[in-house]
Amino acid sequence: MKSLWDAFSNLSPNDKRALTILIVFTATMALLFGGVGMRNMSRTSERQAIKAQEQYAKVLNLAQDYATAKAQKEALQRRIRSSRVRLESDIEAAASTLDIDIHDMKNQSPAPAKGDALREERLRITIKAITMDRFTELMSKLLDNRSGDLIRVREISLKTQFDDREKVKAIFVISTWRRNS
């Protein structure tokens, strides 16, 4: 450091002034560009932090949606497992309480696969002559009074009777699911 000071002292006054201006200018530029660089780095890191927070919020929403869907799936599986439905007897009981004559009831259950945990029970029911009000009562009794049982109406065909326009021929397919045993 002493040798630099000695070399600076041996310079002419004009050279000393030029060297001092150069040192001050270099220091000013270093501070200016260093400050601008730090400011840009600060802004960049701020943008990255905001982007990371947004991604974190999206991940949290997806995790909550996943948890909700998983809970719904598990609830549906519990409903299917605990299903107490005896489809044929329930349909016959509902029809007899409403004094409805079922013409035909056929089992159309598909053959269960070996690895499937659930099997579908499916019935095709034919009622020759019924009014729409009575049919609505029957369907309401079958579908609404289920405490957690899962029943699905797969097909409905209603055809007006030729001789009595008030009555229809109703053919419908109704199904439920059971554990494959």
Please give the Cα distance from 153 to 136 (Å, whole number): 13
Question: What is residue 55's predicted lDDT score, i.e. its pLDDT?
Answer: 94
Question: What is residue 146's predicted lDDT score, i.e. its pLDDT?
Answer: 60
Lowest model confidence (mean pLDDT) among 26-40, 44-58, 98-112, 139-153: 139-153
pLDDT digits (tens, 9 = 90+) for 140-174: 888 776 655 678 888 999 998 888 888 899 999 98
List Cα–Cα distances, 151 to 62, 66, 91, 144, 181, in angstroms. 31, 26, 12, 10, 19
Please give the Cα distance from 170 to 26 (Å, whole number): 96
Burial zone of 168 (CB within 10 Å; 0-12 exposed, 13-18 middle, 19+ buried): buried
Give the residue ranges of DSSP H helices in the chain: 2-9, 13-81, 87-97, 132-144
Q: Answer yes or no: pTM beyond 0.85.
A: no
CB 177 within 8 A of CB 80: yes
Please give the Cα distance from 161 to 167 (Å, whole number): 6
Average pLDDT for the chain: 83
Q: What are phi and psi of 120, to 5 degrees?
A: -100, 135
CB 128 within 8 A of CB 93: no
pLDDT digits (tens, 9 = 90+) for 49-102: 899 999 999 999 999 999 999 999 888 777 766 655 577 878 888 888 888 888
Question: What is residue 22's predicted lDDT score, i.e. its pLDDT?
Answer: 85
